[in-house]
Structure 1
Amino acid sequence: MSIPSHFAGLVDDAAVFPPGLAPLPDAVVAHAAHLRSDHRALVGPFIVSAQDLATLAELATPDLFPEGIRVSVVLPSPDELSGVLDLVRTGPLVLAGLEVKLGPGPLTPQVDVIAAHDRGTSPAYVEAPRPGHPEWTGVLDAAAASDLRLKFRTGGTEAAAFPDEDEVASWIHGAVRSAVPFKCTAGLHNAVRHTGADTGFEHHGYLNILLATAAAQDGASVHGLVPILGERDGRVLADRLAACPAAALRRARQGFLSYGSCSIDEPLADLAALGLITA
């Protein structure tokens, strides 16, 4: 199977998070299998909560991960950073990233706390507030000034957790304008914008996000990104992707780095169904 370079490392393995909620031992074994498969180029790091790091270090044995397991750690607040960094530095885990939620209170000073930590070469993602939040612009500016990345929550376990196209367009446009790379999380399992058959939730598509990022980098306005994010015809998106120059796609992936999914199989199946990967 050939994975095009513009999909390389696109899907971070968030199997232990909702709605999948795979038991950690099962998820670790499955992750090792993905990394040995012919679709391994699609797979990013294993996403783990800070509280599960010690257990993961025991489960990720050398026979499963001879070179260590690359992890991106989700932290509930900036206060947890020191402990996580100490644990990772003394254990067998390979730190690929830190994904930090912002707690109650003013948000921008918390971004400064994250930036002040010595993370070595490991990138840190700040979970951004939604564009309607009064501190959205402040968090964006603070992240840009501190060489941090942003994390956009594109869904959840209830309808209200899903931002609409206008909100996601504002996120993407702001990040591109400020040259801040971003990742997405939650609700983004599939390639194309759609309504969940079981829940009725309005899910964004990862191809929509990728193409909207490319359009923003090409100068599109917030308003111009909305129809791209709202497109529900996979063939239209696939054709638009095929027409996009390789250099533009590479640049788009430097903006939209990855997204967390509790399934690797679903995004893989979508790419195959749309003819965007070859076996």
Structure 2
Amino acid sequence: MSTTPVIPPLFQGLFDDAAVFPPGNLPVADAVPAHRAHRTAWYADAVGPLLCGAGRLGELAAAAQGAGPAAAQAPAPALRVGLVLPGGSSELGPALAAAAPFEVAGVELATRDAREAVAALDLLLPADVPAAVELPRELLRGDGLDEVLDVLVDSPYRAKFRTGGIVAGAFPDERELAGFLTGCAQRGLPYKCTAGLHHAVRHTDPVTGFEHHGFLNVLLAAQETDPAAAAEVLAERSGEVLAKAVQALSDRQVTVIRNSFTAFGTCSIAEPLEDLAALGLLSPDPKPQEDR
């Protein structure tokens, strides 16, 4: 008997739990037990850490303590947390101290100065904790993108790119996103994305009218080094076309893609899983399959 992985390698650890961030805005007291449930569900291998902003770590600690098992039971594992620092390097030291009750799975540092952010991370971040550096999109236009990526490629840290938000202007078009993806691919620089990628396929939101990128589009575009080719993949709106392209990926291609595109934050864990199941790319049935 051999067991086929419930979560294919292409999707393992892809979905960071951003439940407490917009537009989900789940209360922290609810997000903690929900995340613990994700970590013990059949799809656990797809789920990354629970993301939490620097200003809410005290609230998170209280919720984690309150959500623990009864004293007579074995203690729950430490909560895996990704620290999101929108206030820049000044938040790094205090946030790491406040995160002592947790297993820190990563740091995401927003900044306007990549060199300063790298210096702060080098100084304060434990060597075994990964980090991603995010700059405002307006600083990544023109020569700014190359300058920032060149700084990060000489560091141990990933890039981070915002692919959506709560206003239309927060969503980059295909050309802008393709420029970031291929700039990273040309340098061998890993990255994560955040916001707007809840669904697998590029689409227009029927309520807001916002143009959302699909996470399958981004995964497939991650192997491209040519901006025009990447933009074409990002523009694809057929789930059938994207699903067939995913099914045709070799093991080597999957490795290349996930070494580049490491994760994205989503306020819903259910939605991306439902999309993958609907496209025939994921089965919620974890039964072992007999060798043939």
Query: What interval of TM-score do these two structures reach, taking the shorter chain for normalisation?
Result: over 0.9
Q: Offset of 1:6 from its aligned partner? A: 1.4
> Partner residue of 1:13?
17
1:118 aligns with 2:125: yes
Unaligned runs of at least 5 residues, structure 1:
none
Structure 2 residue runs without a partner (length 5+):
286-292
1:143-222, aligned counterparts within 5 Å? 143-214=152-223, 216=224, 220-222=225-227
Structure 1 residues 128 and 32: CA distance shift in structure 2, 3 A: same
Task: Indicate the RMSD between aligned Cα atoms, in angstroms.
Answer: 1.7
Name the SS for the 1:30 alignment partner.
Answer: helix
How high is the TM-score relative to the length of structure 1? 0.92
Letter in 1 for 2:7: I
Matched, 1:22 2:26: yes
1:77 aligns with 2:84: no
Bigger mean CA deviation after superposition, 118-127 or 260-269: 118-127
| Aligned mates of 2:117, 2:124 — CA distance in 1 | 11
Partner amino acid, structure 2, of 1:20? G
2:256 corresponding residue in structure 1: 251
Alpha-carbon distance, 1:134 to partner: 4.8
- Give the Cα separation in 2 of the matches to 1:109 and 1:195: 38
Contact 1:73 1:99 in 2 (8 A): yes
Greater Rg over alpha carbons, structure:
2
Distance in 2, matches of 1:172 and 1:70, equals 27
Q: 1:140, 1:175 within 8 Å by CA — same for their partners in 2?
A: yes
Matched, 1:270 2:288: no
Quote the Cα distance in structure 1 between the aligned partners of 2:52 and 2:217: 26
The question of 1:66 aligning with 2:76 is answered yes
- Supply the distance in 1 between the matched residues of 2:107 and 2:116 (Cα, whole angstroms): 18
3-state SS of paired residue (1:6):
helix
SS at match of 1:114: helix
Contact 1:128 1:136 (8 Å CA) reproduced: no
Q: CA deviation at 1:133?
A: 5.6
Which of 219, 230, 237 is equivalent to 2:235?
A: 230
Deviation at 1:69, TM superposition (A): 0.8
Deviation at 1:107, TM superposition (A): 4.6
- How far does the alpha carbon of each residue in 1:2-45 deviate from its partner, in whole angstroms, 9 at most, with x for none? 21121111100000000010111011111111112111111110
Matched AA of 1:49: G
**For residues 53 and 23 of structure 1, what CA distance do their matches in structure 2 show?**
13
Work out which of the residue numbers 105, 113, 130 in structure 2 matches 1:96: 105
Deviation for aligned residue 1:63 = 2.5
Question: What is the distance in 1 between the residues matched to 2:114 and 2:11?
Answer: 32
TM-score (norm 2): 0.88
| Count of residues paired in the alignment | 271
Would you say the 8 A contact 1:162–1:203 is kept in 2?
yes
